Amino acid sequence: MIARRHLVSLAVTALLTAAAACQAHLRQHPGPPGHPAPPRATAGGFTLVASGDILPDRPVIERAGFDAGGTGHDFRPTLEGAKPVVSRADLALCHLGTPYGANGAYSGAPRYSSPPELAQALAATGYDGCATASEHALDNGADGVRRTLDALDRAGVRHAGTARAEADAGGALLRAGSARVAHLAYTYGSNVPLPPGRPWAVALIDENRILADARAARKAGADVVVVSLHWGWTWQEAPDERQLGFARRLTASRTGGRPDIDLILGTHTRLPQPYEKVNGTWVVYGMGAQVAGEADGDRGRRDPRGNRSTLARFTFVPPARPGGRWEVARAEFVPEVFDLDAGRVVDLGRAITRGADLQGVRDRIRSAVLARGAAKQGLVMGQ
């Protein structure tokens, strides 16, 4: 019954919000002067950009307070380094790994509570939607879920993966170019038990449910179905067998000869993991942490790899025939690092002018991303 109700809610949510979603990204993103123009999609196509976990620990929150001049929090400078890539995409998706707190009660790990001003910064950076399903989604209980989604709604940022009520427990249907894109999001689990009577509060990974939701999204009008999965072991550069098997099964599923899922975006692993084309569908096993404080790795000591990430950028083109699949014409990754001292995202895909250390970080990210042969499948490093 839960699965059936969820399917109905997804279809209803998608249909009711389609008109508003169609306006979600008809604007043009000019980008700042001096930066190269983004890749151009063919007529009717679109570019999709996605980023990894946003996990503001206490030092990140304190820096945002300083950037706001001591009144509130301003995360716009934190994300400024990602803005040239994110703002120029036709559709940009983030992974918001923390719920929002209230009345100044903000904290980092292990129980996250982020300032709601973060939502405004996500919108200002150019994000159109965010996955909100993670193990931390219920760190502030059901009230934290409500505060988070309310703040995103006020900022005009769509969301998928958590819900205030069963009726809004579906994914988001967004417009990108001439395409309608469904965004679905799920997590491997929750650190806090799901609220009694609210199994829909956080979407948990279940193969049958994901495929049913993807098919329902297609019936609701989605041309492209994107699935965000919060999965895998943290501090592992290689995907585990569960990730690999799950990706194979999800990408193999077809309805009427057409894949049910067009793109899989992975988070949670903390480190950048490989990109790979599986059964003709791109899978990003892990994008790393776009924003996060200093953290202990799996060996119990500080591990700078936990501040490395990638922006994924895929250029989709319309099908060659009506009812066909939208294909990825260009696949790119942009390496990033979060500068702990400055509290800023740094784009490593652009010209490196800050020494050999950052060049080495960029090269290690590239090696991890290409470890499963994605270069031969057409993946390139972008700017």
How many domains does the chain fold into? 1
On the question of a cis peptide bond just before residue 36, with omega within 30 degrees of 0, the verdict is: no
Give 74's contacts (C-beta < 8 A, 6+ positions apart): 64, 67, 68, 117, 121
- Both tokens assigned to 379: 């993946």
Alpha carbon distance 93, 121 (integer Å): 13
Specify the DSSP class assigned to residue 202: B
Give residue 299's pLDDT: 65
By residue range, what is the domain housing residue 294? 2-381
- Both tokens assigned to 98: 């923390």
Give 106's contacts (C-beta < 8 A, 6+ positions apart): 58, 61, 73, 113, 114, 115
- Both tokens assigned to 5: 């109700």
Strand partners, 246: none
Alpha carbon distance 361, 335 (integer Å): 9
Mean pLDDT by 10 residues, the chain (383 residues): 36 39 35 43 84 97 95 97 98 98 93 97 98 98 97 98 93 96 98 94 98 97 98 96 98 96 98 98 98 79 90 96 94 97 93 71 96 98 92
**Positions of E strands within 165-213:** 172-176, 179-187
Strand partners, 275: 284
**Is 82 within 8 Å of 336 (Cβ atoms)?**
yes
CATH number of the domain that residue 39 is part of = 3.60.21.10
Closest CA to 334 of 380, 284, 286: 380
Alpha carbon distance 72, 35 (integer Å): 31
Residue 153: other Cβ atoms inside 10 A: 13
Closest CA to 318 of 262, 266, 253: 262
Give 249's contacts (C-beta < 8 A, 6+ positions apart): 207
Give residue 351's pLDDT: 58
Alpha carbon distance 234, 29 (integer Å): 34
Closest CA to 378 of 227, 276, 274: 276
Give residue 19's pLDDT: 35
